[in-house]
Structure 1
Amino acid sequence: MKENNYKNPGVFPIGEKNDAFAKYFVGQSYLNMLSTSGVVIGNVTFEPGCRNNWHIHHKRGQILMVTGGKGWYQAWGEPAQELNPGDVVSIPPEVKHWHGAADDRWFSHLAVEVPAEDTSNEWLEPVTDEEYKKL
């Protein structure tokens, strides 16, 4: 992982270190909750090389709206796709996936939770360094 001086890549403040979910990330992420009622929206910022574990949103989808930097999204069994400011990814319910920063750039996206009832997240295995270095 290359060292980078901090520069907020997005348009929203990065918030605090995402310690509550740190065990589901490789590297350091930050979370600024923009909305917690109705439609839940979090601004998630990733340091270079940071990515979340594979995970599944049960009974609800998620929309990622890229606001800054460079990152990656990958659904299980599909090639990874590069993410840049202005990109939007709609993730259907029950799709195993991960997202995170490029190895040399900060990355920021809004994570929008599609409203649904009786939802849960299933956090799975980390994206290995071997998998990540193939990008």
Structure 2
Amino acid sequence: MIINHGRVDGQPSDQRGPTFTGQVWAEPLLSPTEGVAVNTVFFPPGARTHWHTHATGQILMVTHGAGFVRNDAGEGGPLRPGDVVWISPGERHWHGAGPDTYLTHIAISLGDADWQDAVDDADYDAARG
């Protein structure tokens, strides 16, 4: 059993790096343990992940704002608070904020992530409809 008591007061959030477009911030809720990582992730307008997969899948729980999730088959759509998304093992996908709103979600990542290329503007715009 592991009890994670959250961040120590005054410890900064993590700014995510080269696998995201835009300045994305994450607050680890549970460090990677037994192949599971849990993070609250904040995307400012237009920010998004790169294309990626998860070995055992991913769950997204949208808490604030609005955005999109999309796989490489063109499936997915808009996200809003209360939405829960299941992304299957090995499903190539991306997720992020809308062009004029932020997005905050809790990401439960199962297994290793395979980070790939950036989501280009055409793919981002296609998600917007």
- For the superposition of Structure 1 and Structure 2, which TM-score range results when normalised by the shorter chain? 0.7 to 0.9
Alignment of 1:18 onto 2:10: no
Structure 2 unaligned spans of 5+? 1-11
TM-score (norm 2): 0.81
How many residue pairs get aligned? The number is 114
For 1:112 and 1:73, the matched residues in 2 are separated by: 15
Aligned residue number for residue 106 of structure 2: 110
SS at match of 1:113: strand
For 2:26 and 2:71, the matched residues in 1 are separated by: 22
For residue 114 of structure 2, the aligned residue among 108, 111, 122 is: 122
Measured after TM superposition, the shift of residue 17 of structure 1 is: 4.3
Measured after TM superposition, the shift of residue 41 of structure 1 is: 1.1
Aligned residue number for residue 78 of structure 1: 74
Q: How does 1:1-135 map to 2 (within 5 A)?
A: 16-19=13-16, 22-36=17-31, 37=33, 39-58=36-55, 60-114=56-110, 119-134=111-126, 135=128
For 2:38 and 2:54, the matched residues in 1 are separated by: 15
For 1:120 and 1:28, the matched residues in 2 are separated by: 23
Match of 1:127, as an amino acid?
V
Measured after TM superposition, the shift of residue 132 of structure 1 is: 1.4
Match of 1:68, as an amino acid?
H
- Give per-residue Cα distances to partners, 1:83-105, cap 9 Å, x unaligned: 00000001111100000000100
Q: What percent identity do the matched residue pairs reach?
A: 37
Greater fraction of residues in strand: 2
Report if the CA contact (8 A) 1:17-1:28 is conserved. Answer: no
For 2:95 and 2:52, the matched residues in 1 are separated by: 10
Aligned residue number for residue 6 of structure 1: none
Structure 1 unaligned spans of 5+? 1-14
For 1:131 and 1:33, the matched residues in 2 are separated by: 28
For 2:74 and 2:122, the matched residues in 1 are separated by: 16
Q: Name the Cα RMSD after superposition.
A: 1.6
For 1:29 and 1:95, the matched residues in 2 are separated by: 22
SS at match of 1:23: coil
